[in-house]
Structure formats: C-alpha cells, structure tokens
Amino acid sequence: MTTIVQQAMRARALMRVITLAAFLAASTAFAAPATAPQSYIDRPDVSAFIDEMVADSGFDARALRRFFAKVRYQQSVINAISRPVLEPPKWYQYAPQFLSASRIDGGVAFWRANAATLERAQNEFGVPAEIVVAIIGVETFYGRNAGSYRVADALTTLAFDDPRRAEYFRNELKQFLLQAREQKISPLAPKGSYAGAQGLPQFMPSSLRDYAVDYDNDGKIDLAADVDDAVGSVANYLAWHGWQTGESVMKPASIDVDKREEVERMLDGGISDRRTLESWQLDGVNATDIGESATGIREMATGIPESPGSDPVGVLMLEEEGEPSYWMVFNNWYVLTRYNRSRLYASAVWRLSQEVKRAFTGQ
C-alpha cells in the first residue's frame, strides 16, 4: 500500500512540474524579448530615415546619428500599445473614473487658479472655460498624469518596432524632431505618454506644431509646465476644428416606443450617422427639452441649432447599468471627437465639464 501511495504522490508531483513548465513556456510567448533590438543607430531603416530627414528638412546627419545612438528601445511601450482590448468598455464602466469627486474638485481648483487665462481663451476662441478644463482633466488629471516616458524613446520604438503603426509614428517622430529644432530644445528632454503625447493636454507632435500657441508670449511653447500655453492651445485646437460658440454639445433624447428597434439598428457602435433634426423627429427621436411649435415640428430650445436642415445631428446611445440613455449630439460633440475619436471620450468631457461648472458656480 505504501508503494502505491508513494507512486501516486510521485505522479502528482510530476504532473505539477509538467503543468508549471507548460505555463512558463506559454508565458514566454507573450513576454518581452530576452534581448532588446540592436542599437537604432546600426539599423538600415533608421539610416534611411536619417537620410530622409536630411534631404527633406535640412537636418545634420551627424546630429541625428548622435540622437539615435542615445535613444533606447522600450518594450513597455510595445506592451502598452499592444495590450488587447477583449471588449470595448461600456459607458457605465468608462465614465466613473472621469466623473469622480476628486476629478470634479480638481477641475474647480484648476479653474480658480487659472480663471483669468481661461476667461481670455473663452473670449478669444469662443470655447467655454469648462470644456478646456474638462479636456485637461480627462487627459492628465490636470497635469498629474502627463507621462514619464522620454518622448524620443516612445516614438522611436513605435516608429521602428511596431509594424502595424510604423507609418503613423514615423511621421510623428519627424514632427517631434522638427518641434525640438523649432523650440531649440534637446529632443531627449521632453517627457510624455507611451504614445509620445505631451503636456497637460497630451498633444501629439503633429498637433503641437499645428495648433499649440505661446499664450503667455514668453517666446516658447511649453505644454508641460506652462498652463497658459496649455489652455490657449486646447481652445485654439477646438476652434480650428469648428467649435461653434454658444451651441449645444449634446442633449437628452427620447425615442418613440414603436420606433426604438428601428432607430437602434442605426446606431453602429453606439452612434448614428448625422441627419437633419427634422428627419430624426419624423423617425420618432426627440430632444427632451424641445417644445412643440404650431406646425407640429418641434421648435428649438435654447442651445439647439436654429437651422436643423443645415446642421445635421447624430443620435448617441450610452450604456447605463439599467436601460441605456439616448442623446442628440451636435456639431460641438463631433469637434470633441477630433481630439479623441471615442464616443465615450467626447461624452465624458462634456459630462465632466458640466459637473465642474456646476461646482465652480455653485449652481
């Protein structure tokens, strides 16, 4: 009997070893490589990039070789950008982190500390102060989470070691090197996200060069340490992308019960194509604060575009823990999606802006 028990114990122990070995073998398939890629300065694709920068933008080849000799591959960047999304988040899962009491209180404190600059930006660009505050709040928690990667390392890693996105990130690397030359700073100095986004508003280099402004006129653009520049740059970005002063972002909507199934089929990924407000009304979709007119077509309440035929709107669905909520979304909501294409992102910015404004004004 003892022999049988001992044999059984040895068999179970062997199975544990085999199982552990199989687990470790499987794990290594997803782990970082044992050795990093060869030095960037020795790679033919980097040499071709240097030649392109010299020919197209007049860079000094030796300076670029010195730069790439100091850049370091970052496996954590590849891990972060390749992290699989098993299922897109739903609104009720996504929103709470951006609508927490600490995020709202932080927005009020940021607004109070920078009230004069926010008011000036609102007057000059037509973008409400609370929208600018909310974008900075969502992007970096008012500067607390602006990123700790060297932008040079992040962009170089993605430009040359992420084949799926290489073209995009090589262009961003080019824009970053141009940015550093224009600002007369070392390209090894800026810090940012794993994707190379910089500063309080997390501008990618191409956006920084196109839309960032020296809002305090100190002779340089600094989105990381200069709040004035960050505020002015966010407002300028939104204005350039078509922000309409005084118009709505989104309004609660209702769908007639007998039309709901038909309308829901139009919501691809939670958002419809844009159509005229009148056509949505005829299909049973109505903003809840629009009143009846004498003609039977609903007239516009304050903040609703006055020309429904010329300013098409979309219908948005947000997943709540119970029944979903429905919204009419207007031009300014789509402008927010130019900052980040997610319907959840644009909606979170708007919701946070309203909560911060309510807390700031005491209403």
Active-site residue numbers? 139
Which residue is listed with tokens 């191409």? Answer: 206
> Which residues are bridge partners to 292 per DSSP?
298
Closest CA to 352 of 190, 148, 142, 159: 142
DSSP class per residue in 107-163: HHHHHHHTHHHHHHHHHHH---HHHHHHHHHHHHTTTTT---EEHHHHHHHHHHH-G
Instruction: Name the amino acid, one letter, at 82.
Output: S
Look at residues 192, 174, 185, 307 and name the one whose alpha carbon lies nearest to residue 247.
Answer: 307
SS3 track for 282-307: HCCEEECCCEECCCCCEECCCCCCCC
Identify which of 132, 142, 67 has the alpha carbon closest to the alpha carbon of residue 102. 142
What would the DSSP string read from start to end of 226-248? -HHHHHHHHHHHHHHTT--TT--
Instruction: Work out the angle at residue 227's Cα, subtended by the Cα atoms of residues 224 and 229, and round it to the nearest 5 degrees.
Output: 85
Element (H, E) at 97: none
Six token digits for residue 28 = 């290594």
DSSP run (H or E) holding 225: none
CA angle in degrees (0–180, nearest 5) for 109-243-226? 40
Q: Which burial class, exposed, middle or buried, applies to 25 when counting CB atoms under 10 A from its CB (0-12, 13-18, 19+)?
A: exposed
